[in-house]
Amino acid sequence: MNATELYIHGLPENQRLMMEFLREIILAASPKIREDFKYGLPFYYSKGPFCYLNMQKSNVYIAFYWGKLMPQFSHYFDPDTRVMIKSLTFSSWEMIEEKIPILQEVLAAALTVDQEKYSKK
């Protein structure tokens, strides 16, 4: 098991199931995605970091580094005060399952923004 798998394996069952499911969706979005465990969290990279998974109470969320640059999804993102990072929060496995098409669209857009941001460097 790698560090991310160990972290997820140690979570309470509800969060573990949600994290595993989100992880599968993220990794299926592109063969170019790399997973790393940094700052105590699962991070996902293409050209650079584009999202990570985290928990808040009993919820799990996926945070997008360049969320502000994806205004077409602003009505789906959680309301918060972070300027650049935007997130989607899930309270159940079923909630994730309902939103798979939206999540896949947001991931595709996040990967596009990631490519644009890191290609300029």
pLDDT band, very low/low/confident/very high, at 56 (cuts 50, 70, 90):
confident
CA of residue 105 relative to chain centroid, distance? 12
For residues 63 and 95, give the distance between their C-alpha atoms in angstroms, rounded to a whole number.
Answer: 16
Q: Which of 50, 29, 46 is nearest to 104 (CA)?
A: 29
How confident is the model at residue 22, as a pLDDT? 96
H/E stretch holding 63 reads strand 59-64
Tokens of 111: 């990967």
118 against 34, higher pLDDT: 34
**pLDDT 10s digits, 65-119:** 999 999 999 999 999 878 899 999 999 989 999 999 999 999 999 999 999 888 8
Domains in the chain, number: 1
Q: Which CATH number characterizes residue 68's domain?
A: 3.90.1150.200
In this predicted structure, what is the pLDDT of residue 82? 87
At 121 the pLDDT is 54
**Bridge partners for 86 per DSSP:** 64
Q: What is the pTM of this model?
A: 0.92
What residue numbers bound the domain in which 56 lies? 3-119
Q: What is the pLDDT of residue 49?
A: 94
